[in-house]
Amino acid sequence: MIKANTVSQVREQVKKWKKEGLSVGLVPTMGYLHKGHASLVDEAVRQCDKVVVSDFVNPTQFGPGEDLETYPRDFEHDCALLEAHGCHMVFHPDVSEMYTEEIATYVENISDMPKTLCGKTRPIHFRGVCTVVSKLFNIVTPDKAFFGMKDAQQLAIIRKMVTDLSFGIEIVGCPIVREDDGLAMSSRNTYLSAEERKQALVLSRAVKLGQELIAKGEHDADKITSEMKALITEMPLAKIDYVSAVDGTSLKDTKTLKNGDLVAMAVYIGKTRLIDNFTVNCDKG
């Protein structure tokens, strides 16, 4: 596996691959990789001839008081996982390689998409996401890019960006990967104490409850999210940021759930903010 630290290294290698007629897949990550990330790499390897994974904690998507400095990092571990799953090149740049000291150009969705859900409490987050993903698309020039459905709002915003800016890249959404007990895999799970980890399971239980209600024929978004909230608040360490039902494409609030809509949540367990969601399937719940 090639370990690249500079934009020029990546561009040179990708240019060689493309001269050979090989397809290139990109998996953008912030490192501290787990089985969820591995599933993205596996899918990229399945669909593409060569796979590039970015391993970069992107500062522009963190707001004041967020966990930029403490965000977990372990590049040696990441490389071992990536090699085991068939990654061909990891791009691990310094911040100075990705951003000038006086960066003045950002990529921003000016609709309401980044203002809802996580955007209500993280107002600059998706501007940072769109900017760094755009940069990665320009650096790697992939044929396909792979993102996890756990970050459903991010995925919808990136799909919109790719359409609006004519990137010509296929965006592949990959299913949420969960621990054996149901907790959605996240690098931030390492922040949780033993008791917090136990109470965090209420997120996946809320997902299951919402799916069960839909399977029984309930389509009223307010009723479903209210019952999910009631379940979550039974946990003394849980503080709800939001539990919302939105259109799966536009992310606009919806009152009556239909196939493809999104029911998403962000919940603080102690000081750790966790997210989870499910896509509505009125046939299966």
| Cα–Cα distance, 137 to 145 (Å, whole number) | 8
Residues in the chain: 285
Is 176's pLDDT higher than 90?
yes
What pLDDT is recorded for position 115? 97
Query: Is residue 71 a contact partner of residue 209, using CB atoms and an 8 Å limit?
Result: no
Options 34, 37, 88, 125, the catalytic residue: 37
- At the second CATH level, the architecture of 187-279 is 2-Layer Sandwich (3.30)
pLDDT, mean of residues 206-233: 98
Token pair of 208, please? 């299951």
Residue ranges, comma separated, of all CATH 3.30.1300.10 domains in the chain are 187-279
| Parts of the chain belonging to CATH 3.40.50.620 | 2-174
At 175 the pLDDT is 97
- Partner residues linked to 129 by β-bridges: none
pLDDT tens-digit series, residues 236-266: 999 999 999 999 999 999 999 999 999 999 9
Provide, rounded to the nearest whole percent, the portion of the chain with pLDDT above 90: 98
Stretch 219-246: mean pLDDT, rounded? 98
Going along the chain, which residue ranges are E strands? 2-4, 24-29, 50-55, 89-91, 144-148, 170-174, 238-246, 262-269, 272-279
Strand 170-174 with 144-148, pairing: parallel
Angle value at C-alpha 171, between 169 and 175, nearest 5 degrees: 165
Confidence of residue 136 (pLDDT cuts 50, 70, 90): very high
Residue in the structure block whose two tokens are 């999210």: 225
pTM over 0.75: yes
Let me know if 88 is a catalytic residue. no
Q: What is the mean pLDDT of the chain?
A: 97
Domain 2-174 has CATH 3.40.50.620: yes
Strands 262-269 and 272-279: antiparallel
Q: d(Cα 135, Cα 92) in Å, to the nearest integer?
A: 14
pLDDT tier at 146, thresholds 50, 70, 90 = very high
- pLDDT value at position 23? 98
The DSSP string of 172-224 is EEE---B-TTSPBP-GGGGG--HHHHHHTTHHHHHHHHHHHHHHTT--BHHHH
pLDDT for 285 beyond 90: no
pLDDT digits (tens, 9 = 90+) for 68-96: 999 999 999 999 999 999 999 999 999 99
How would residue 283 be classed by pLDDT, with cut points 50, 70 and 90?
A: confident
